[in-house]
Amino acid sequence: MNRTLLIIIGVVMALVLIAVWVYLLFFNQPGGGDDNFADLNFANTDREVVDDTSPTFSEEEALVEVSDDSVLKQLTTEPVIGFQEVAATASSTPVVYYLKPGTGHMMSIDLETGEEERVSGTTIPNASRGVISITGQLVLIQAGQGHQAELLLGELSSSSEELKLTTLSETVLDFTITTNNELLYLEGDGGYTTIKQYQPETKTTKTILTIPFAETAITWGNEVGGVHYIYPKASGQLEGYLYQVANGKFSRLPVAGYGLTAYGTADYVIISRQLTGRYQSAIFNRTLDQTKPLEMALLPEKCVLENTKSSFVCADSTTALKTDMPDLWYEGGVSYVDNFWRIDTASSSASLLLDTKKESGRELDIINLVTGQNSGDIYFQNKNDQALWLYQISR
């Protein structure tokens, strides 16, 4: 067989193979054009384009049921980064506002109908945490994480769903909006932390106090001139001390311990710490300057003051807290199934209010408790998925 014939046969075979490949590629797709590439992990480019200015929701999106008789209701199925009960008047039906992670969009839920609407569509990239005023007109949102996090003030207009944004800090650690709509934030600066107040009316910033250590946790009071509690960031390996800021003055209180955390009012403070090899809790009576042990160990971060102001409501598990608390819980090394308890400040006693797993069928590791200013009910998040819940304690 000569060389020319071999070349002709090779070319013919190549053309046949190319023809077969083209047929399979473009004409043999009974299951749909994307099936041939299903295993190649190409990104799906057929995306639904969402109008970011529209406050409506897809009909396929399931609304959370809020009209049942349960005292424990799940308000969102997705994570939130901040929330607040808002009511036009003391007698009007309250709604709850919440903030979405990543965008900072502010939504509202009608607590009677479950209807959900968008309050603000202003996008704040990397929104990770926020607080909303009780009027719903002001919002503080943290963008980013860590010591380089940026703090933004958003002011809501009555004529638009867009927020007017002002940058307050680029090194924010913590922040709050008081019941009097006062804006407070904690700012890190090298080896110090500073409490500052921002006044939207005059667009001025005032330094309240500089604290001589860097890793700081704070429990905010209800107003600028109230009592704020400060302690070094808790660790079971380090001894912590409790301080107060009142009327711009910084003073140490007679409370200390390894892994110290605290939550309280001007009169009573719930504290937890490592003592004699165990994680223990107590109530510090400010008037008597006395500390009385609690009959249960709990995390003060899981407590909130009742509207009656005579007792605390705390979330706590029947599981004994380990000796390496609170580090283990902070790091996500352990999750709890919490129930609601009432802590009587006078007697330092605890009484069970609600078995949450029996009521909801869910395991709730409860965090970020907030008391509704009008209803007195308690809003909180499940640490496991950051969804928003409501405990109607007033019923």
Long-range contacts at 56-63 (CB < 8 A, ≥ 24 apart): 57/116, 63/114, 63/115, 63/116
- The answer to whether the beta carbons of residues 211 and 166 sit under 8 Å apart is no
What pLDDT does 148 receive? 72
Distance CA 308, CA 327 (A): 32
Distance CA 395, CA 111 (A): 14
What pLDDT does 322 receive? 67
| 186 in a structural domain | yes
| 229 in a structural domain | no
- The answer to whether the beta carbons of residues 154 and 165 sit under 8 Å apart is yes
| 234 in a structural domain | no
Question: Three-state DSSP class for 21?
Answer: helix
What one-letter code names the amino acid at 190?
G
| 159 in a structural domain | yes
Residue 148 is part of which domain span? 63-213
Distance CA 187, CA 172 (A): 5
Find the CATH number of the domain harbouring 191. 2.130.10.10
Distance CA 239, CA 191 (A): 18
Task: Quote the number of domains for the chain.
Answer: 1
Nearest to 347 by CA among 299, 308, 312, 391: 312
| 73 in a structural domain | yes
| 312 in a structural domain | no
| 182 in a structural domain | yes
- Compute the radius of gyration of the chain from its Cα atoms: 28
Nearest to 165 by CA among 117, 130, 118: 130
What pLDDT does 67 receive? 64
What pLDDT does 117 receive? 95
Handedness of CA 133, 367, 215, 258 (dihedral sign): positive
pTM: 0.81
Query: What's the DSSP call for residue 324?
Result: T
CA atoms within 13 A on the CB side of 30: 0
| 149 in a structural domain | yes
Nearest to 374 by CA among 118, 136, 95: 95
Nearest to 171 by CA among 157, 158, 190: 190
Nearest to 390 by CA among 61, 67, 7: 67
**Predicted confidence pLDDT, tens digits, the chain (395 residues):** 566 766 777 766 777 677 766 565 555 544 444 443 333 333 333 333 333 433 333 333 445 666 677 899 999 999 999 999 998 676 777 899 999 999 999 999 999 888 999 999 999 999 999 999 999 999 999 999 876 789 999 999 878 889 999 999 999 999 999 988 899 999 987 789 999 999 988 999 999 999 988 889 999 998 999 999 999 999 888 899 999 999 889 999 999 999 999 999 999 999 999 988 888 999 999 999 999 999 899 999 999 999 877 899 999 997 777 667 788 888 888 889 999 999 999 899 999 999 999 999 999 999 999 999 877 899 999 999 999 999 999 87
What pLDDT does 42 receive? 34
